[in-house]
Structure 1
Amino acid sequence: MFAARSQIGLMSKHLILMLTLGVCFCLCNSPVLSAENPQTVVKTVADQILKIIEQYPEDIRARRQQIEAIVDKHVDFEAITRLAVGRRWNSLPPEKQMEFTREFSKLLFNTYIGDLEKYAGENITYTNRPVDQGYVVVRALIKDQNGPISLEFFLHLRDGEWKVYDVAVDGRSLVMNYRNQFDSILANGSFDDLFMMLKRRLAQLCGSNRC
């Protein structure tokens, strides 16, 4: 299930990382976008999370619980999960959708929270792309010690708030990478098989005291 973990890990860690840094969204003028100021929202989130990291340098559990609560408000895990599962999503009963979304979001967060804490000081520059009604794409360039990393963040306006629903690293979409993995599993098994693999991976993480 997680054969492509190295690529996906890179994308997922930056999905969480970028939500917690001082991101400056360079947005085009639009009536929809002017309804709320994403820069102010994200700057507030950045300040909150950096303060938590400083406040709990030794208490990992308390620190991560508080960071998770903030991240949950700004990442649309429901949309990410729905897009990753693809066309089979609508055939699932609502309770299965909710359960899978909950476990998948836990897996993403607990797999890559360590990278958030480690890479908080990266040098990042931003540019903008044209936006559609209710959607915005933000480009970022991370100057990592191993070389620059190009990212694109896809946000949509949901319930009056901007939320991330996909991220691409060097042109590779996080959602599409997970969809390819999920499709491979579902081609030879059931959704329950996929769900059990997901839960086993999460249990391994929690057994390593990362939850």
Structure 2
Amino acid sequence: MKNLLLALCFALAAPFAVASVPNDKPDELVRALTEEVLEILQTDERLKNGDTDRAVKLIEETVLPHFDFRRMTMLAVGRDWRNASEAQRDRLVDAFYDMLVRTYSNALTEYSDQKVNFRPLRMNPDDRTVRVQTQIEQSGGQPVAVDYVLERQADGWKVFDVVIAGVSLVTNYRSTFAQEIRNGGIDGLIRALETRGSEIAKRAEGKS
């Protein structure tokens, strides 16, 4: 589980320094961003000392431009998305984003010399959706496959799903979200996500 959390954290933290990275080739984008992340993890003393606030801040400041969290949330909510008002949808996106960032920020502080390998991209020139396949390798453990699923949008490629060891992020949350909606409706899911994010934040504060 720790290895899977770290794998997803690579995905969420990938856009640390993206301004100079071209966004017209999805594999080059993912490679450049991953290399940026690895360098930061190896050199940032606050992260190495377990500063989760630092991890949260780094993710929050830069992740949005390269992740389509609205689509991620829509896919995770599934068919119930169409029953949500626009205000509810906005709250769902914000709550899901906050929960993900706080859930996986701890993994940034547990980095210990993992390496990332990239598989050749299979893509046609007119493809609108692609999967960039990578593999996180670590001493003493099995490699973890991490695939980034991206869509070509007007302002460049955006990640809308991450598949870790064959498990889709959005699909993994779908059954949990459906149960929350059955129990308390859309507002019940929003409350559950917001509560989960707050609880994670409080636990992180208790460790600092």
State whether residues 52 and 67 of structure 1, in contact with CA within 8 Å, keep that contact through their aligned partners in structure 2. Answer: no
Aligned residue in 2 for 1:139: 133
Q: Tell me the TM-score normalised to structure 2 length.
A: 0.76
**Which range moves more in the overlay, 116-125 or 85-94?**
116-125
State whether residues 66 and 157 of structure 2, in contact with CA within 8 Å, keep that contact through their aligned partners in structure 1. Answer: yes
State whether residues 92 and 190 of structure 2, in contact with CA within 8 Å, keep that contact through their aligned partners in structure 1. Answer: yes
Aligned residue in 2 for 1:102: 94
SS in 2 for 1:121: coil
State whether residues 56 and 63 of structure 1, in contact with CA within 8 Å, keep that contact through their aligned partners in structure 2. Answer: no
**Which range moves more in the overlay, 40-49 or 195-204?**
40-49
User: Post-superposition shift, 1:129?
Assistant: 4.9
Alignment of 1:1-211 (within 5 A): 13-18=6-11, 20=13, 36-38=24-26, 39=28, 43=32, 46-47=35-36, 50-51=39-40, 54-55=43-44, 57=46, 60-62=52-54, 64-119=56-111, 121-131=113-123, 133-144=127-138, 145-209=140-204
Taking the aligned partners of 1:208 and 1:60, their CA distance within structure 2 comes to: 11
Distance 1:85 1:61, change over 3 A: same
Q: How many corresponding residue pairs?
A: 193
Amino acid of the structure 2 residue aligned with 1:135: T
Taking the aligned partners of 2:96 and 2:70, their CA distance within structure 1 comes to: 9
Taking the aligned partners of 2:116 and 2:42, their CA distance within structure 1 comes to: 19
SS in 2 for 1:209: helix
Amino acid of the structure 2 residue aligned with 1:154: V
SS in 2 for 1:61: helix
Q: Percent identity?
A: 25
Taking the aligned partners of 2:132 and 2:33, their CA distance within structure 1 comes to: 18
SS in 1 for 2:143: strand
State whether residues 150 and 170 of structure 1, in contact with CA within 8 Å, keep that contact through their aligned partners in structure 2. Answer: yes
Backbone CA RMSD of aligned residues:
3.1
User: Post-superposition shift, 1:100?
Assistant: 1.0
Distance 1:49 1:107, change over 3 A: farther
SS in 1 for 2:180: helix
Q: Tell me the TM-score normalised to structure 1 length.
A: 0.75
